[in-house]
């Protein structure tokens, strides 16, 4: 491999959360190698670090079996084109960030051709689809794990892995400043605030946001003074605004340009789509109601592959239903409204419930807080330095 190739790496980040993780990693690597070239598939966070995005990460932001089938040909064609380019240009290292259905087969092909491969964010074989462990073993020279129990589990299958902590645990403060967040959003300190987080994919928004808005309307009927904030992924802002218009909610839902962390810091409770945002809400110590809805066939397949009773990351990590999960047919507007309002009650039992939840989330925060980039560099540096 040429000296020039020894200082370039390929990255694929499949959605908004992966884009942020990958950007933090690239920033840390560039502190050691300022001239390090990085290219592949990424979003705005990576591109802000000078990343060459051959394709935008939103092209991979598809969840659900039926939804993936609609985009299958385009995704497979993109992966094939990317593989051909990488095999021709030969990066010193390939890092696939999350997006396991896209990245693992690609990593397997690259590794078989002699390219070093690392997967960042271990696929959740402990939660569902345990059969993927064989593909992980073929695909990855190393796995960077964001949860502490994962390296031992992967080691049982002969897979090298390192716990690097969850980078969000270092970014999100242990004690979020609610007053500053509300000032930034123009929300009164004495208002009760609900953050609506319907997801970062088009399919999620189309399935979940109408239910969330109908639930919010019911909440307003019971508590007219409630305030609602909705962080919008910039690429999907127009879609969100269309949903608000159809629901006649534009006047009373404050749509934000991104700013999900500001919304979580400002709110009293969040109604949130299952995914990384639930962990963010937990790190902000916020009560939540986890919701999800997808195509019925996708849901049927997903349910058959689940290995645990929980779907939301806070519940999985706490190994208990510490917050409600309302999924598929259970995610009715009435149920979502009732569960969300239950966190806002003023009685002593609810206050004790909120305090207990905050204590559990504080302990979780401490467990996940590590120097993620530094730990990842310990793994990646020998691979980059050893490229010849």
Spans of all domains in the chain: 5-165+370-385, 171-368
Q: For domain 171-368, is the CATH number 3.40.50.2000?
A: yes
The span from the CA of 309 to the CA of 317, in Å, is 12
Helices (H) and strands (E) in the chain, counts: 17, 13
Beta bridge mates, 93:
9, 116
The separation between CA 265 and the C-alpha centre of its own chain, rounded to angstroms, equals 17
Res 173: pLDDT: 95
CATH number attached to the domain at 5-165+370-385: 3.40.50.2000
CA neighbor of 314 nearest in space, from 339, 292, 281, 343: 281
**213 vs 120, 240, 248, CA distance in Å?**
34, 11, 9
Q: 156 pLDDT exceeds 90?
A: yes
Q: What is the pLDDT of residues 12-56, one digit of tens each?
A: 998 777 898 899 899 988 888 888 999 999 999 999 999 999 999
pLDDT for 312: 86
User: Which residues neighbour 118 within 8 Å (Cβ) at sequence distance 6 or greater?
Assistant: 93, 94, 95, 96, 140, 141, 142, 143, 144, 379, 380, 383
Kind of pairing between the strands at 193-197 and 161-163:
unpaired
Beta-bridged to residue 37, according to DSSP, are: 8
Q: Does 5-165+370-385 match 171-368 in CATH topology?
A: yes
Rg (CA), the chain: 21
Express each pLDDT in 94-106 by its tens digit.
Answer: 999 989 999 999 9
- Closest CA relative to residue 26, chosen from 103, 121, 95: 95
């Amino acid at each position: 491999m040429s000296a020039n190739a020894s200082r370039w790496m390929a990255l694929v980040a499949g959605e908004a959360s992966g884009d942020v993780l990958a950007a933090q990693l690239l920033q840390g690597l560039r502190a050691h190698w300022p001239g390090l070239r990085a290219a592949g598939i990424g979003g705005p966070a990576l591109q802000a670090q000078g990343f060459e995005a051959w394709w935008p990460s939103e092209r991979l932001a598809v969840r659900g079996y039926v939804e993936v089938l609609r985009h299958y040909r385009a995704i497979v064609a993109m992966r094939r084109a990317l593989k051909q380019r990488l095999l021709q240009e030969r990066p010193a290292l390939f890092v696939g960030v999350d997006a396991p259905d896209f990245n693992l087969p690609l990593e397997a092909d690259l590794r078989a051709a002699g390219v070093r491969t690392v997967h960042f964010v271990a696929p959740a074989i402990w939660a569902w689809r345990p059969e993927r462990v064989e593909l992980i073993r073929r695909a990855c020279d190393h796995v960077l794990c964001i949860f502490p129990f994962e390296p031992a589990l992967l080691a049982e299958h002969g897979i090298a892995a390192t716990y690097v902590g969850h980078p969000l645990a270092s970014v999100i403060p242990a004690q979020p400043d609610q007053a500053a967040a509300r000032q930034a959003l123009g929300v009164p300190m004495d208002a009760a605030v609900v953050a609506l987080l319907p997801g970062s994919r088009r399919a999620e928004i189309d399935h979940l946001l109408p239910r969330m808005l109908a639930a919010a309307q019911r909440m307003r009927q019971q508590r007219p003074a409630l305030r609602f904030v909705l962080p919008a992924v910039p690429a999907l802002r127009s879609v969100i605004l269309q949903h608000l218009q159809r629901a006649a909610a534009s006047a009373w839902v404050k749509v934000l340009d991104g700013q999900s962390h500001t919304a979580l810091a400002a709110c009293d409770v969040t109604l949130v789509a299952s995914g990384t945002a639930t962990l963010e809400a937990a790190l902000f110590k916020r009560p939540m109601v986890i919701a999800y809805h997808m195509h019925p066939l996708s849901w049927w397949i997903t349910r058959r592959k689940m290995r645990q009773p929980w779907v939301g990351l806070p519940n999985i990590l706490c190994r208990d239903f510490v917050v409600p999960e309302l999924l598929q047919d259970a995610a009715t507007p009435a149920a979502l409204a009732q569960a969300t309002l239950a966190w806002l009650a003023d009685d002593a039992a609810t206050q004790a419930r909120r305090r207990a939840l905050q204590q559990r989330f504080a302990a979780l925060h401490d467990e996940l807080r590590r120097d993620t980039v530094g730990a990842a560099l310990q793994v990646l540096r020998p691979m980059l330095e050893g490229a010849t």
